[in-house]
Amino acid sequence: MEFNGERADALEEVVDEPVSPTGQYFNSSVLSISILATLEIDIPIAASQACFLLNTVFLPINPRFSSLMVRDEHGVKQWKRVDVKVEDHVHVPIFPDGLSLESNDEYLQEYLSKIAMERFPQSRPLWEIHLIQYPTSNAAGSVIFKLHHALGDGFSLMGALFNCLKRADNPSVPLTFPSSRQGLSSYCNRNSFFKRVTGLLSMILNTTSDFAWSILKSSFLEDDRTPIRAGNEGVEFRPIGISTVTFSLDQIKQIKEKLGGTINDVITGIIFYGTRLYMQNWGPPGSSNSKSTALVLLNTRIVTNYQSLQEMIKADSKSPWGNRFVFLHVPIPNDPADAEMVNPLDFVYKVREIIKRKRGSLGVFLTGELLEMMRKFRGPETTAQYIHSTLKNTSMVITNMIGPMEQMALADHPVRGMYFVVVGSPQSLTVSIVSYMGKLRVAVGAEKGFIDDKLYASCLENAFTRIFKAALCST
């Protein structure tokens, strides 16, 4: 079997392997984090066709898709290859017939909330597929991939997914992805000795500050209670509402050209401003001025574009399979003034400044070393508890992925749109971003009964509109 010019059978030679430390943390007694990726398609896919694709295309991608997480005789977790009956992983829900598109939308959201709360059974590989064969406002049908984070991070899993898809207009031509160069600061390219010295001192100070702050936030220093954070008890596996909003990538680029920085800086600034608008409109007076922190996920691979499957499994790969990311603690900018009256561009400027400083710090790498030492001396369960506290003590998680510029097709079924959400995190709010066909799709996963996901999404739209208009008027 071949897909995107690669032979899948080469991957079958991989033997059972140890579970990575991060994989153990994310599938532990205190954490079970998964990714829900939804493809909105123009033609519904039958279960028989899905099973054929899973056997011939999906399973050969990586041995972990055909493996259980088990303990060996020494108590060490290993990926153990097993025979997979794909029919056990395929689910086709039944909705009432004859409903309106809006009613089907509601049933789909309820179904997403249901499967988001469910833990994977440990008796079979940690993935499943859900086929929605009913039309919604966005598509004729949907394909939902639920993939456990222990299998790999978003970069690995989305890269695997894109390797299963082809260009809708010309399947023989590979998909292309926009550039995502981060512009990481480099202290070895300074023009003078003075700048090199001051840069080194700045890195040392930032590293010390960031590392100490990370330990405090992961141990006992928690965010304020706000309209996006109920408290310190953790909310994993509670019902969630999912809403999405779409932005023009060209307009995001226009804002970036006006203000500088990166596309990630702009979209994070929009999310932060929209969050403050929601907190002010939905919460008690002073909510928009509370102390709140977002965990922004940063890919640590040397390359940022998806690599071939053959490249990802190499021992010396610059873009290896697995969980290769770090959390950046980024305070959500606040202002004692009315959030409706502040300069919306300040959010982009502040985000750009904060993230640039944190990228020039080694704090996240020291945190990684701390986790490794904790694992060696106290075990993976204790380390997982520490990561759980890191998540629980903050207000939200923001993660983003790059999607193809052209329309994709899954076995000749055109994909109209796509989005993903991270589920199982002990937070009330997660925000995920993916680009596709010149659009940025932002998905909001919010705790039901506490956060109004639709109102929050409308605040993001409001924030985008205000920032775009303000950027065009700036000089």
Q: In this predicted structure, what is the pLDDT of residue 84? A: 95
Half-sphere exposure of 235 (CA within 13 A, CB side): 24
Q: In this predicted structure, what is the pLDDT of residue 232? A: 60
Q: In this predicted structure, what is the pLDDT of residue 299? A: 67
Angle made by CA atoms 2, 129, 318, in degrees to the nearest 5: 50
Asked if the structure places residue 98 within a domain, the reply is: yes
pLDDT above 70 as % of the chain:
82
Count of structural domains within the chain: 2
Angle made by CA atoms 35, 40, 42, in degrees to the nearest 5: 155
Q: In this predicted structure, what is the pLDDT of residue 4? A: 41
The model's confidence at residue 86, banded by pLDDT at 50, 70 and 90, is: very high
Q: In this predicted structure, what is the pLDDT of residue 317? A: 63
Same domain as 214, residue 101: no
Between residues 78 and 160, which one has the greater pLDDT?
A: 78
Same domain as 149, residue 228: no
Asked if the structure places residue 62 within a domain, the reply is: yes
Calculate mean pLDDT across residues 333-343: 75
Report residue 179 as tokens.
């550039």
Average pLDDT along the chain:
83
Asked if the structure places residue 53 within a domain, the reply is: yes
Lowest mean pLDDT among 15-29, 89-103, 113-127: 15-29
The model's confidence at residue 461, banded by pLDDT at 50, 70 and 90, is: very high
Q: Are 122 and 34 in contact (CB under 8 A)?
A: no
Asked if the structure places residue 218 within a domain, the reply is: yes
Same domain as 108, residue 157: yes
Asked if the structure places residue 375 within a domain, the reply is: yes
Looking at the DSSP bridge assignments, the partners of residue 346 are: none
Q: What H or E segment, with its residue span, contains residue 390?
A: helix 380-392
Same domain as 440, residue 332: yes
Q: In this predicted structure, what is the pLDDT of residue 85? A: 94
Residue 362 main-chain phi, psi, to 5 deg: -100, 15
The model's confidence at residue 322, banded by pLDDT at 50, 70 and 90, is: low
Whether pLDDT at 62 is above 70: yes
Rounded to 10°, the helix 345-359/249-259 angle is 80
Whether pLDDT at 155 is above 90: no
Calculate mean pLDDT across residues 453-459: 96
Report residue 447 as tokens.
């705790």
Same domain as 92, residue 33: yes
Which residue range forms the structural domain that includes residue 124?
2-167
Find the CATH number of the domain harbouring 312.
3.30.559.30
Same domain as 125, residue 32: yes
Same domain as 202, residue 127: no
Sign of the torsion formed by the C-alpha atoms of 363, 369, 371 and 374: negative
Lowest mean pLDDT among 9-18, 77-86, 148-157: 9-18
Whether pLDDT at 304 is above 90: no
Same domain as 363, residue 258: yes
Same domain as 226, residue 130: no
Q: Tell if the pTM clears 0.75, that is, is over it.
A: yes
Asked if the structure places residue 180 within a domain, the reply is: no
Same domain as 371, residue 233: yes
Same domain as 345, residue 205: yes
Same domain as 392, residue 256: yes
Q: In this predicted structure, what is the pLDDT of residue 366? A: 80
Asked if the structure places residue 416 within a domain, the reply is: no
Whether pLDDT at 195 is above 70: no
Report residue 204 as tokens.
């040392």
d(CA 128, CA 91): 8
Residue 33: closest CA among 162, 130, 199, 151: 151
Looking at the DSSP bridge assignments, the partners of residue 91 are: 130
Q: In this predicted structure, what is the pLDDT of residue 5? A: 39
Q: What is the pLDDT of residues 379-423, one digit of tens each?
A: 888 888 888 888 999 999 999 888 889 999 998 899 999 999 999
Asked if the structure places residue 173 within a domain, the reply is: no
Q: Are 128 and 90 in contact (CB under 8 A)?
A: yes
Lowest mean pLDDT among 55-59, 245-249, 306-310: 306-310
Highest mean pLDDT among 12-21, 26-35, 45-54: 45-54
Lowest mean pLDDT among 5-14, 61-70, 257-266: 5-14
Last residue of one domain, picked from the residues 152, 167, 182: 167
Find the CATH number of the domain harbouring 60.
3.30.559.10
Half-sphere exposure of 106 (CA within 13 A, CB side): 5
